[in-house]
Amino acid sequence: QVQLVESGGGLVQPGGSLRLSCAASGSIFRVSPMAWYRQAPGKQRELVASITTGGSINYVDSVKGRFTISRDNGKNTVYLQMNSLKPEDTAVYYCNLFYSRAYWGQGTQVTVSS
The per-residue pLDDT for range 66-79, each reduced to its tens digit, is: 999 999 999 999 99
How many H helices and E strands in the chain? 0, 11
* Reported confidence tier of residue 3, pLDDT bands at 50, 70, 90: very high
Residue 1's pLDDT is 82
Residue 85's pLDDT is 98
Report, as an integer, the average pLDDT of 78-85: 98
* Reported confidence tier of residue 26, pLDDT bands at 50, 70, 90: confident
Whole-angstrom distance, CA of residue 42 vs CA of residue 54 = 35
Residue 30's pLDDT is 86
Integer angstrom CA distances of residue 100 from 26, 33, 62, 83? 14, 11, 29, 33
Residue 83's pLDDT is 98
